[in-house]
A and B are shown apart, each in its own frame.
Chain A
Amino acid sequence: MATNVKVLVVGVGNMGRSQALAYHAMDGFEIVGLVSPSIKTRELPDELAGYPKFTDYDAALADAQPDAVSINTYPDSHADLALKAFDADCHVFMEKPIATNAADAEKIVGAARAKNRKLVVGYILRVHPAWQEFIRQAQGLGKPLVMRMNLNQQSKGEAWGWHRNLMESLTPLVDCGVHYVDVMCQMTGAKPVRVHGIGAKLSADTKMQNYGHLHVEFDDGSVGWYEAGWGPMMSEVAFFVKDVVGPKGHVSIVPKTGSDAASSDNIDSHTQTNSLLVHSAELDDNDNFVNEDTWISMADEPGHDDLCYREQEVFYKAITEGTDLSEHMDSAVNSLKIVLAADESIKLGEVVHMS
């Protein structure tokens, strides 16, 4: 395989343009086309202005003959686009969630394996150094773990528009939750066994529930909860919780001391970590703390576009060096199953037992 990977970018929304900019900036990739039904009327960053534009995917695949397809469209189109890409012998990068149902997710991974092509799913936190450290620290807290995470967004204006669009195919719990339950699975190294969800529809303008909260239990006794709610009514009280507690103490991603976390609907603030707070539970003979809390400043704070670049570096390496992506693909399917189980639990009013 030559070092030049020809990539066709499908979808030019938020994520699509970030991924395209990464391909543009990287030597190893060559963008051979940008695909979107509305591409003729879209305002694109200057760097992307010169690339071939397509409104039709099938035509683009035939015309541009890419080595890889980068899928950054709404999730309900992922399966169709991915299967066609694999049929055309392409490697695939795709944004999360991998699909909108477990069967499609399995089909996509099955096709990647059958065709011996690489499949990388946009689990952006996996390339974030602070989140990697957060996971590593969590693994030092003993067992069981209590993992408390959320990302609520009080959205208005343009952001509320995007949220309503996303909610045509997915609840916030499913769309965002995959990142965090994947982190929980990495922290525990254990098997998720039970999921319970509650949800509510707080807006007349959305098709789906715009609020959800899930419980997940693991086979090592660890438990976790994830919460996601979007909309103009949402509260900014405790909207950014990334916290893990174990017998030995807790570790948390917190805003830097003295500063407020950025507004809840700003995309950089979602991945921005500020500081890692590490607290030890160790007590002396008077039941007082032996150690002071420590804050690890995240000096190397990649922005959103930097992270997309790092994801594409992983993709490039997988294609050119043949990295084994089994764990990556299985985790993508597993994390989707957990959040879909939460949605199912909400509908049934019962716990969903994971097989």
Chain B
Amino acid sequence: MADKVKVLVVGVGNMGRSHALAYHRMDGFELVGLMSPSIHSRSDLPTEIEGYPKFADFDEAMAATRPDSVSINSYTDTHKQYALKAFDANCHVFIEKPLAVTVADAQEIVDAAKARNRKLMVGYILRVHPAWQRFIAESKKLGKPLVMRMNLNQQSKGEAWAVHKAIMTDHTPLTDCGVHYVDVMCQMTEAKPVRVHGIGASLSDEVAIQNYGHLHIEFDDGSVGWYEAGCGPMMSEVAYFVKDVVGPKGHVSIVPKTGTEAASSDSMDSHIQTNLLLIHSAELDDNDNFVNEDTWSSMADEPSHDDLCQREQEVFYTAISEGTDLTEHMDSALSSLKIVLAADESIKSGEVVHLS
């Protein structure tokens, strides 16, 4: 496709504006409009994108801008309706995670993409992060089974707490954040997830949904993982940022640089900022002492949140213009959503959920 890809951005919150800035900067895209029900009352849009056509209604925006692609960054409960309408209009779709509120809805979106032969890309931002790609590559050298320990807890107050409360009208933190990490676990093991168990608790009377969750996941190669997510003013910052994988041959972990503290738990950049990759080998000599010293690698290439959004859009652009096969990508998006929703289901039923 020689011409620019016309893109309509739906949703101008945190993620929407980051993606809009990426489209604005990139030669391959032409940003043709910004849509959000409250757009006319928003005065806080970044200057670079302030001047684009604004719409409060999706259908109106689609008719007026006739885009080639739609970038969906709205609350999850609107994902299905916008995505299906976009495919109906023959558009490609970029869509933020989680793909949908239910597995059935997510499946419908994927089926529509396939039926229409359009590209569907889901915002699994860690997939374009060089340090996370390296983390996954190193984990594959640890042998099997793997024990994958990951979390992201946020002691949130002020504005961040307000954002969390809004997200929690749709999703538990486990579902909203967990998809990234269980997707990483699936990439690390390259095995099939088979069982999920969850526990959760409602620690705030300001939200109806549980603001804390912890899941167990088991794979068919014997690997196991756990993911934890909790947010709110009561949350602890003890062990709030765990990205750690252990195998028979040792462990590899993303850790803060020595001598510095990890940035505050509710700062967006600190969620992605990787600091150092710690690699530990379990090899012992005849006296049961370690043969090798631990190594710390600095992640020289530390893209910011906005850089990563741009990298995602580069992948989206290449998929549209060169026809990249996104089957694995879409299947993984479905699989990771199934896993976290199974955790929510497990919490409700009090039983293990067996994945088909």
Contact = CB atoms under 8 A, between A and B. Distances in A.
A277 B235 CA distance: 13
Contacts, number: 169
Chain B CB count within 10 A is highest, among A158, A282, A349, for A349
B278 A237 contact: yes
Interface stretch (B283-291, B301-309, B318-326): B283-291
Interface stretch (B11-19, B56-64, B114-122, B212-220): B212-220
A8 to B, nearest CB: 34
B236 A234 contact: no
B66 interface: no
B230 interface: yes
B239 A148 contact: yes
A213 interface: yes
Give the interface residue-count category, chain A.
Answer: 35 or more
B236 A225 contact: no
Interface in A219-248: 221-223, 225, 227, 229, 231-235, 237-238, 241, 243, 245-248
A287 B351 CA distance: 36
Contacts of B217: 198
Interface string B19-31: 0000000000000
Interface stretch (A112-120, A249-257, A312-320): A249-257
Interface stretch (B46-54, B87-95, B244-252): B244-252
B235 to A, nearest CB: 6
Interface residues of B, number: 60
B157 A250 contact: no
B255 interface: yes
Contact of B214 (A215, A222, A238, A254): A215
B251 A234 contact: yes
Contact of B236 (A247, A279, A287): A279
Interface string A274-308: 00010101110011110000000000000000000
Contact of B145 (A201, A215, A223, A283): A201
Chain B CB count within 10 A is highest, among A221, A225, A229, A287, for A287
Contacts of B238: 148, 241, 243, 250, 252, 254, 277
Contacts of A250: 234-236, 238
Contacts of B201: 144-146, 221-223
Given A146-B212, A146-B230, A221-B201, A203 B248 contact: yes
Contact of A196 (B197, B242, B284): B197
Nearest to B156: A287
B282 A196 contact: no
Contact of B197 (A215, A254, A282, A289): A215
Interface stretch (B34-42, B102-110, B221-229, B334-342): B221-229
Given A146-B201, A200-B224, A349-B195, A246 B234 contact: yes
Q: Report, nearest first, the 7 A-B pairs whose CB atoms are least far apart.
A: A281-B234, A233-B282, A238-B239, A235-B251, A250-B236, A198-B224, A281-B233
Given A196-B197, A234-B246, A246-B234, 12 more contacts: A148-B239, A160-B288, A232-B250, A233-B250, A237-B244, A237-B278, A246-B203, A247-B203, A252-B238, A287-B161, A288-B157, A351-B197
Interface of B: 142, 145-147, 149, 155, 157-159, 161-162, 195, 197, 199-205, 212, 214, 216-218, 222-224, 226, 228, 230, 232-236, 238-239, 242, 244, 246-251, 253, 255, 278, 280, 282-284, 287-290, 350-352
